[in-house]
Amino acid sequence: MPSIELPSPDASILARRNEIIRDLQSLVGVHCVIADEDGRRAFETDALTAYKRLPLVVVLPSTTDEVSKVLKYAKVNGIKVVARGAGTSLSGGALPSEDAIVVGVSKMNKVLEIDYENRFARVESGITNLAISDAVGRGGFFYAPDPSSQIACTLAGNIAMNSGGAHCLKYGVTTNNVLGVKIVLMDGEIVEIGGPFLEPEGYDLLALIVGSEGQFGIVTEATVRILRAAEGARPMMIGFESSAKAGMCVARIIGSGIIPVAIEFMDRPAIAVCEDFAKAGYPLDVEALLIIEVEGSEEEISDRLAYIASIAEELSPQAIVVSASAAQSARIWKGRKAAFGAVGRLSDYYCMDGTIPLTHLPHVLEKISEICARHGLRVANIFHAGDGNLHPLVMYDANKPGETDKAEAAGAEILKLCVSVGGCLTGEHGVGIEKRDLMRVQFSETDLAVQMRIKSVFDPDWLLNNGKVFPLDAVAAALARREAELQRATGAAAAA
């Protein structure tokens, strides 16, 4: 069984379930509330499927005002709330609890405004990542962040986890492409932060919101940066006899001053699985494969690909293949984008999300293989090599007793390894419950205390996405200190 501890539900809230359902139905309408067990079952987990909890009730509001009503009601009644986009989180970030209201934003998916001249779009947060680029594409623009799940994942989830994708090497992750948000706080207050301008005045509160994992409020609208699409783009594939050589090639490309649009890595197990699924033409006789894409005019593309090939030649590659058509380029990216699903056809897997300095890539890849072998598990490495964001897929059999525990133990070792070489626990998937108990590996008690104090400013009662991000004992201690401070303040006021 999975070993991560989850908070126990509040029995008093469970006892009031029917009353809470009726109240919510009166607030937002019966059509927005899912109360039956079969309906709630669709929201019991996210893409980290080892953990499941049936939520108290699910609300699917259609407007910011409806979200405000639900949060204000939950605040007054002391009910936990879990925000949810499409449930594609790979860290348990959208995992509900039995005593929590799930507030899903999937109905809030409209494009509200597109301004090509000032390069922004204003959208509701339930819109899918890919739908933003589709909406602005007719004007020759695109939205840069592109997670592999972009066909399904929502902007709300991208903002919560500060998601990236293959093209984040050149264009940055979500925080670099969101200009403003409309957010509903736990007491129902609607706040607008930032907007359609590059440099807002005052404190950078937007940087706090992006990546806050639904702990500060529920984002219902966002203003995002849109970029003019390049004249053209083309990928190339470079195969090597070892992961170490592929890692060295990545470091040398970045060190040369060239910043491709994307540099993606797959090892032999991943190559085989993805080729079987996508028929992309990946070389099957190599140990490691880099997919490198550059963009610009045809002349610029040819020049940059040739220069990258010359860098690779110094490391004796086994294969260099430059895409010769749009169809071939599409197949190459289809295989990479479908990698997680392709591996899932063969095995259960546990996906890591550590980030490391590029100079440590060969060493870390070797150690990842050693860690998984020691636990008797296979691993397929697929990741964003350009910025050192690793996604090793630790393969296991969830139906075999003890296998899930072994996968989690191997995953924890991999993340500790990432931190030990100067990296961090997460690049784009977030902490959720998956990395919650590893936060002390990266942060001191003082670091955690400061972060939790910020959380308490936005959500004093810790009702939003409870049980995530911070170790449970640290949260309990923080809440105990807060209660003691309130009692001292009350006593001092009474004495005065």
Question: What residue spans define the domains of the chain?
Answer: 11-104, 111-228, 233-340, 349-382+389-434, 445-495
Taking the chain, what is the end-to-end CA distance rounded to the nearest angstrom?
55
Using DSSP's 3-state secondary structure scheme, residue 440 falls into helix
What pTM value is reported for the model?
A: 0.93
Sign for the CA dihedral angle at 212, 146, 88, 340 comes to negative
- Which ranges in 281-400 belong to alpha helices (H)? 298-313, 326-337, 339-344, 361-374
Instruction: State the Cα–Cα distance between residues 301 and 96, nearest whole angstrom.
Output: 47
Q: Give the pLDDT score at 361.
A: 83
Instruction: State the Cα–Cα distance between residues 405 and 383, nearest whole angstrom.
Output: 23
Sign for the CA dihedral angle at 26, 28, 29, 30 comes to negative
Residue whose C-alpha is closest to residue 380's, from 414, 429, 339: 339
Q: Give the pLDDT score at 337.
A: 87
Annotation: CATH topology of 111-228: 3.30.465
Q: Give the pLDDT score at 414.
A: 97
Residue whose C-alpha is closest to residue 92's, from 452, 416, 468: 468
| Angle subtended at Cα 357 by Cα 353 and Cα 362, rounded to the nearest 5 degrees | 85
Q: Give the pLDDT score at 2.
A: 53
Q: Got the DSSP string for 4-31? A: ---PPP-HHHHHTHHHHHHHHHHHH-GG
Q: How many CB atoms lie within 10 A of CB 96?
A: 27
294 burial type by CB count under 10 A (0-12 exposed, 13-18 middle, 19+ buried): buried
CATH class of 233-340: alpha beta
pLDDT in tens, the chain (496 residues): 456 888 889 999 999 999 999 999 999 999 999 999 999 999 999 988 788 999 999 999 999 999 999 999 999 999 999 999 999 999 999 999 999 999 999 999 999 999 999 999 999 999 999 999 999 999 999 999 999 899 999 999 999 999 998 888 999 999 999 999 999 999 999 999 999 987 777 889 999 999 999 999 999 999 999 999 999 999 999 999 998 899 889 989 988 998 999 999 999 999 999 999 888 999 999 999 999 999 999 999 999 999 999 999 999 999 999 999 999 999 999 999 888 888 888 899 999 899 998 888 888 988 999 999 999 999 999 888 888 899 999 999 989 999 999 999 999 999 999 999 999 999 999 999 999 999 999 999 999 999 999 999 999 999 999 999 999 999 998 888 888 888 888 887 777 7
> Is residue 183 within a helix (H) or strand (E), and if so which, with residue range?
strand 178-184
Instruction: State the Cα–Cα distance between residues 442 and 124, nearest whole angstrom.
Output: 34
Q: Which CATH architecture has domain 11-104?
A: 2-Layer Sandwich (3.30)
Q: Give the pLDDT score at 1.
A: 40
Using DSSP's 3-state secondary structure scheme, residue 326 falls into helix
For 232-303, where are the E strands, in sequence order? Answer: 233-240, 262-267, 288-295
| Amino acid letter, residue 439 | M
322 and 305 Cβ atoms separated by less than 8 Å = yes
Residue whose C-alpha is closest to residue 315's, from 246, 263, 384: 246
Instruction: State the Cα–Cα distance between residues 301 and 232, nearest whole angstrom.
Output: 8
| Strand partners of residue 125 | none
- How many C-alpha atoms does 42 have within 13 Å on its Cβ side? 12
Residue whose C-alpha is closest to residue 129's, from 112, 113, 142: 142
Residue whose C-alpha is closest to residue 206's, from 239, 235, 182: 182
How far CA 307 is from CA of 63, 66, 158, 310, 400, in Å, comes to 51, 55, 34, 5, 49
462 and 455 Cβ atoms separated by less than 8 Å = yes
- How many C-alpha atoms does 275 have within 13 Å on its Cβ side? 14
